[in-house]
Structure 1
Amino acid sequence: MSRRGELLRMLADGGEHSGEELAARLGVTRAAVWKQLQQLGEWGLELEALPRRGYRLAAPLDLLDRQAIRRALPELVAGRLRRLEVHEELASTNDQLLQSTDLPEGRFDACLAEFQSAGRGRRGRHWIAPFASGLCLSLNWNWRYPPAGLGALSLAVGVAVLAALRAQGIAGLALKWPNDILREGAKLGGILIDLRAEGAGPAYAVIGVGLNVALPGAARRAIAARGTTPADLAGGPGALPRRSALAAALLAGIVSTLVEFSARGFAAFADDWRAADALRDQPVRIEQGSGSVSGIARGIDPDGALLVDTGAGRERFISGEVSLRPAA
Structure 2
Amino acid sequence: MPDRSTSTPISALTDDAAALPAWHIDESVLRRTLDGGAARDWQVDVVAETGSTNADLTQACRSATWDDARAQVRVAYRQTAGRGRQGRPWQGQAGLTFSVAMPLALAPARLSGLSLAVGLAVAQALEDCGAATAVGLKWPNDLQVDGRKLAGILIESVPAGPQRLWAVIGIGLNLVRDARMEAALGRDLSGVAEVLPTFDPHRDPTRILGAVLNRLAAMREVFLAEGFAALAPAWSARDAFRNEPVRLLHDGTVVAEGLARGVDGEGHLLLETANGLEPITSGEVSLRGAPA
TM-score band by shorter chain is: 0.7 to 0.9
Quote the residue 2:267 is aligned against: 304
Percentage of pairs with the same residue? 36
Q: Is 1:196 matched with 2:153?
A: no
TM-score, normalised to structure 2, is 0.86
Matches within 5 A, 1:49-88: 61-81=22-42, 83-88=43-48
1:285 equivalent among 247, 268, 280: 247
Structure 1 residue aligned with 2:15: 7
Q: Which among 178, 185, 204 is matched to residue 140 of structure 2?
A: 178
2:225 is paired with a residue whose SS is helix
Query: Are residue 95 (structure 1) and residue 39 (structure 2) matched?
Result: no
Give the distance between the partners of 2:152 and 2:95, measured in 1 at CA. Answer: 12
1:219 to 150, 161, 181: 181
**Which residue matches 1:232?**
191
Higher relative contact order (CA 8 A, sep 6+): 2
Distance 1:266 1:150, change over 3 A: same
Structure 1 unaligned segments of length 5 or more: list them: 12-36, 46-60
State the 1:150 CA deviation. 1.1
The answer to which of 146-155 and 88-97 deviates more is 146-155
* Distance of 1:245 and 1:319 partners within structure 2: 31
Q: Quick check: 1:147–1:262 contact (8 Å CA) kept in 2?
A: no
Separation in 2, partners of 1:301, 1:237: 31
Residue-by-residue CA offset, 1:41-76 (whole Å, 9 max, x unaligned): xx7x7xxxxxxxxxxxxxxx1212222211211435
Shift of 1:161: 0.7
Identify which range, 167-176 or 314-323, moves more after superposition: 314-323
Question: CA 1:200 to 1:213, structure 2 compared with 1: closer, same or farther past 3 Å?
Answer: same
Q: Which runs of 5+ in 2 are unaligned?
A: 1-8
Aligned-partner SS, 1:303: coil
Alpha-carbon contact 2:144-2:151 (below 8 Å) kept: yes
From the superposition, tell whether residues 280 and 96 of structure 1 become closer, same or farther in structure 2 (CA, over 3 Å).
Answer: same
- Give 1:9-48 correspondences, 5 Å limit: 11=17, 40=19
2:96/2:174 contact within 8 Å kept: yes
Q: Given the two structures, how large is their TM-score scaled by the length of structure 1?
A: 0.77
Once the two structures are superposed, residues 267-302 of structure 1 have per-residue CA deviations (whole angstroms, 9 ceiling, x without a partner) of 221100110111111111112368521111111112
Q: Which amino acid counterpart does residue 325 of structure 1 have in structure 2? A: R
CA RMSD of the aligned region, Å? 2.4
Cα distance change, pair 238–296 in 1 and its aligned pair in 2 (3 A)? same
Q: Which has the larger radius of gyration?
A: 1
Residue 77 of structure 1 aligns to a residue whose secondary structure is coil
| Deviation of 1:260 (Å) | 1.4
The alpha-carbon distance between structure 1 residues 103 and 70, as it changes in their structure 2 partners (threshold 3 A), is farther
C-alpha distance in structure 2 between counterparts of 1:78 and 1:325, whole Å: 34
Aligned residues: 275
Q: Classify the secondary structure of the residue corresponding to 2:227.
A: helix
